[in-house]
Chain A
Amino acid sequence: MRSILKLITSVFLALNLIGCVKKEVLDDISLIEGIGFDYIDKKNILGTAVIPVYLPDQPPKKTTFSTKAEISKSILQDIQRQTADPIATGSLEVLLFSKTLTEKLGILPLVDAFQRDPSIGSDLYLAVVDGETKELLAGQYGIRGNATYISKLMEHNIKNEDLPQSNLELFLGDFYQEGKTPFIPQLKQIGKNKMKISGIALLKHGKMVDQIAPDKMFFFKLLVDKYSEGMHRVKIESGEAAVRSIHSSHNFELTKRNPAEVTIHLKVNGNIDEFTGQELTPKTIQELQKQFEKDIQKECLKLIQHFKDKQIDPVGIGHFVKTQTRNFDFKNWRENQYKDLVVKIKSEVKITESGVIE
C-alpha cells in the first residue's frame, strides 16, 4: 500500500516539474546571430537582425529584419512581430554599430541590454561599421552566414594578425576600468559581397572620438595587448623586408613621479617573411632590427601623443599608474597629470629566422 502511494506521489511530482518551464525546440525558434544598429535621429535607431534559416544540404539562407525603435530590446520585440518563430538571442555572435550612431549617440545604452541578458555570452564581438549596418548586412558573405563570417573574420585577425583582442567582456572591462578607455574594431563594406577591417575605433564615454588607420594597427596592438602578432614592413637602404612578429610582450614601468614618467618596454621576436634586397647578411639583419626598433619607437610615441591630445587612454596608462600609487586621485590624473605625462618607449627587436632560403 505504502509503495503504491510513493509511486503515485513521485509520478505526480515528475509531471509537475515538466510543466514548470517553457521548452524551446531548436527547430522552432529563430536564432539571432547578429544585430546592427543605425542612426535615424536623436531619439530613434534602426535595428537590423540577421536570422539564418538552415536548409538541408545548403548554405544557410540569410534573412534580415529591420525595425525602428527607441531602445534595443524594443527592436527585438518589434522583430518578434515579424518572424514566424519566437526569437532567441542565445547564439548572438556580433553586434554592429554604424559610425554615425557611435559618434552621435554612443553605444553604451545599446550594450546594456546585452550585458544584462544572462542568455548572451560575453564572448561576443562588437564592431563599428563605416557606413550603414543595414547595407552591410544586406550583402552575402561566405557560405556560413553573415554573422558567422564577421565573427570568424575578427577571430582569425585577432589570433594571427594585428587586430587587438576585443569582445564584449573586454570592452566592458575597459569601459569600467578607471584610467582606461575602450576601443572596438571597425569594418567597412568594400564591394557587394566583400568587407574588410578598416581600422580601430577609439571611444570615450561610449562615443567614438577617433580611429586608428589599418597601417598603425600593428603598433597599437603592441601597446594594448600583452602578446601580439602581426606583420610590419621595414625599409632600409639595401631593400625592404616584411617582418612577422612571432612573439611579443610589453611591460610598463613607472620611472619617475611628479610629473609621472612611464617607460614601456616592448619586445618583439620575429621572422623575415620577405626581403627585396640583394643579400640577407647578418649585417643587414642587424640593420633591419635597428630600423624596426626605431619604427616602433616613433610610431608608438606618435600614437600616445595622439591619445593625450584627444584625452583618451586606450593603453590604460592611467590604470597602470594607479596600481603603483596608493590613494590615487583619478580626477586630478584626468585633469592635470595625464597632460604632463612623459612616455618613453624602449623597444627590443630580435629577428630569429629568415625563412628556408639562405
Chain B
Amino acid sequence: MNSNVPNSKKISPFLVFFLIHTMQSGVGILGFQRIIAKTAGYDAWMSIILTGLVVHILLWMMFKMLKIADGDITSIHTFVLGKKIGKIFSSFFILYFCLFTITVLRSYIEVVQVWMFPELRTFWFTLALLILAIYIVFGGFRTVAGIAFFSIILPFYIDVLFVVIIPYSDFTNLLPIFDHSVKELLLASRDMSFTLLGFETLLFFYPFIQNPERSKKWAHFGALFSTMLCIYLAILAFGFFPEAQLQKNTWPTLAMWKIIKLPFVERFEYIGVSNWGLVILPNICICLWCASRLAKQLFSIRQKTSVTAIAILCLIATSLISTRGQIDLLTTYTGKVGFYFNFIYVPLLFAGTLIAKKVRNREKHT
C-alpha cells in the first residue's frame, strides 16, 4: 500500500549499515558501562554479547515481517490488525519517537552542561539543534541517510583514540570470569538493551531502501558493529576503573578521556563532547523523520507541517526537564518503553504476522 516511493528518493542498501549503527550509538554509549556493571559486575561484557545476539534475531524477524507485509510498520499493522486498529497502534509510535528525541536531546545537553558549559541554556541550544534537524529532514530521507553516514565516518577517530588509556588500565579486573549468576547476566542484558535501541527504525524506513534483500546483510553488519563497539568500550572501562570507582562515574566513557592530554588542548573532553554533537544529530533527524512520516501516513498531514509541529513539542518538553533526577527518570522510562517495544512487542507482532499470513493463504485456497 505504501511502497509507492519513487526510486529517486530511495537509498542504496549499504547506507542501512550507517542508519542502524548511528541510531544505536547515541548518548547511551557514554554511560552504559556503569549500568550494566551494577548487576553483573565485570562479567557484564557477556551480557552485551547476549543482547547483541537478540538484536540480530529481532532484525531477522523485522525483515521477514516487512517482506510479508511489503511496506513499513503501518502495512504490518494493517495486515495483522486491520485498518482501524492498525492505525491506532501505529499512532503510538509518533509518541515513541518524540520520547526518543527528547531523551537523546536532553541527555546530550546535560553532558554539555556538566562537562563544558554549566551556563548553557537548554532552550536555546535545543532550538538551534532542532532547527538544524528540521532543515535536514526537509531535505528528505536521502539527506538524513547522508548525515548518518558522516556522523559515523567523521568522529570515528575518537573510538581509536581510546587506546591511549591502555597503559593506565589493569585488565585483570575482569577476572575471574563467570563470577556472577546467569540471572544477574540476564538482568544486565536487559539493562543493556537501552544502549542498543534504535534498530527498530528499520520498520519505518524499509520502503525507502532500494533492493531491500541486499540491505539485510548491511543491517546485520551495522548491529554487529554497534555490539563490538560497546564491548570494546566496556572492556576498556572495566580495565580502567576498579568496580567501586566505575559506580561513581555517571559517564565512564567520558571520564576515561580525562587522562588524555594533548599539547594544544589541555582537556580532550572539549573536543570529544563537541564531536558527540555530530553523533547524536542523525538520531534526532531519524526520529523526527520517522514520527513525521507516520503522521503523514496516518492523518494525511503534510510532512513539513508535522516535522515542525513535532519539533516544537520536543522543544517544549526538553526545556521543562532540568535536574539530574528528572533526566534519569526520563532515560529509565524511555529504556523501559523501548525494551517492551523491541523485545516483546516485535516478537508478538512477528507471530501475529505469521498467523495472519497462514489464515489469508487458507482463505485464498478455499
Taking Cβ atoms with an 8 Å cutoff, the residues of A that contact B are 13, 16-17, 20-22, 90-91, 118-123, 169-170, 172-173, 175-178, 180, 319-320, 322-327
Interface of A, secondary structure class, is loop
Q: List 10 A-B contacts (CB under 8 A).
A: A20-B124, A20-B125, A21-B119, A21-B120, A90-B266, A173-B170, A173-B242, A173-B245, A177-B173, A326-B179
- B128 and A176 within 8 A (CB): no
Write the nearest CB–CB distance from B12 to chain A, whole angstroms.
Answer: 31
Given contacts A91-B266, A172-B245, 4 further A-B contacts (CB under 8 A): A16-B124, A169-B168, A319-B172, A327-B179
Is B175 positioned at the interface, with any CB of A under 8 Å from its CB? yes
Chain A residue numbers with a CB within 8 Å of B124 are 16-17, 20
- B114 and A13 within 8 A (CB): no
Chain B stretch 222-277: residues in CB contact (< 8 A) with chain A = 240-245, 248, 255, 258-261, 266-267, 269
- B176 and A325 within 8 A (CB): yes
Give the one of B131, B170, B241, B267 with max A CB within 10 A: B170
Write the nearest CB–CB distance from B113 to chain A, whole angstroms.
Answer: 10
- B244 and A118 within 8 A (CB): no
Given contacts A13-B128, A20-B117, are A118 and B266 in contact (CB under 8 A)?
no
Is B127 positioned at the interface, with any CB of A under 8 Å from its CB? yes
A118 and B256 CA atoms in complex are apart in Å by 11
- B267 and A90 within 8 A (CB): yes
B152-189 to A contact mask, C-beta < 8 Å, 1/0:
00000000000000001010110110110000000000
A178 and B121 CA atoms in complex are apart in Å by 41
Is B299 positioned at the interface, with any CB of A under 8 Å from its CB? no
Chain A residue numbers with a CB within 8 Å of B170 are 173
> B113: nearest residue on chain A (CB-CB)?
A21
Which of A16, A123, A176 interacts with B259 by CB under 8 Å? A123
Give the one of A91, A121, A170, A327 with max B CB within 10 A: A121
- B128 and A16 within 8 A (CB): yes
Chain B residue numbers with a CB within 8 Å of A16 are 124, 127-128
Chain B residue numbers with a CB within 8 Å of A22 are 117, 119
A118 and B116 CA atoms in complex are apart in Å by 8
- A326 and B261 within 8 A (CB): no
Given contacts A22-B117, A323-B175, A325-B176, are A121 and B259 in contact (CB under 8 A)?
yes
- A177 and B175 within 8 A (CB): no
A178 and B115 CA atoms in complex are apart in Å by 29
Write the nearest CB–CB distance from B164 to chain A, whole angstroms.
Answer: 10
Chain B residue numbers with a CB within 8 Å of A119 are 267
Write the nearest CB–CB distance from B65 to chain A, whole angstroms.
Answer: 42
A327 and B125 CA atoms in complex are apart in Å by 48
Chain A residue numbers with a CB within 8 Å of B172 are 319-320, 323
Chain B residue numbers with a CB within 8 Å of A323 are 172-173, 175-176
- B121 and A121 within 8 A (CB): no
Which of B176, B242, B243, B261 interacts with A324 by CB under 8 Å? B176
Write the nearest CB–CB distance from B165 to chain A, whole angstroms.
Answer: 9
Give the one of B115, B178, B259 with max A CB within 10 A: B259
- B267 and A13 within 8 A (CB): no
A346 and B125 CA atoms in complex are apart in Å by 61
> B132: nearest residue on chain A (CB-CB)?
A13
Chain B residue numbers with a CB within 8 Å of A91 are 266
- A123 and B121 within 8 A (CB): no
- A122 and B258 within 8 A (CB): yes
Chain A residue numbers with a CB within 8 Å of B117 are 20-22
Given contacts A91-B266, A323-B172, are A176 and B120 in contact (CB under 8 A)?
no
Chain B stretch 127-165: residues in CB contact (< 8 A) with chain A = 127-128, 131
Write the nearest CB–CB distance from B110 to chain A, whole angstroms.
Answer: 12
Given contacts A170-B168, A173-B242, A320-B172, are A118 and B128 in contact (CB under 8 A)?
no
Which of A13, A21, A177, A322 interacts with B127 by CB under 8 Å? A13
Write the nearest CB–CB distance from B258 to chain A, whole angstroms.
Answer: 4
Chain B residue numbers with a CB within 8 Å of A20 are 117, 119-121, 124-125
Chain B stretch 273-301: residues in CB contact (< 8 A) with chain A = none
Chain B residue numbers with a CB within 8 Å of A175 are 245
Chain B residue numbers with a CB within 8 Å of A21 are 116-117, 119-120
Nearest first, the 5 A-B pairs at minimum CB distance are A323-B175, A176-B245, A177-B242, A21-B117, A176-B244
Given contacts A121-B258, A169-B258, are A176 and B242 in contact (CB under 8 A)?
yes
Chain B stretch 78-117: residues in CB contact (< 8 A) with chain A = 114-117
Give the one of B116, B258, B269 with max A CB within 10 A: B258
Which of B173, B176, B261, B269 interacts with A118 by CB under 8 Å? B269
Chain A residue numbers with a CB within 8 Å of B120 are 20-21
> B42: nearest residue on chain A (CB-CB)?
A323
- B266 and A121 within 8 A (CB): yes
Chain A residue numbers with a CB within 8 Å of B269 are 118
> A252: nearest residue on chain B (CB-CB)?
B172
Write the nearest CB–CB distance from A282 to chain B, whole angstroms.
Answer: 37
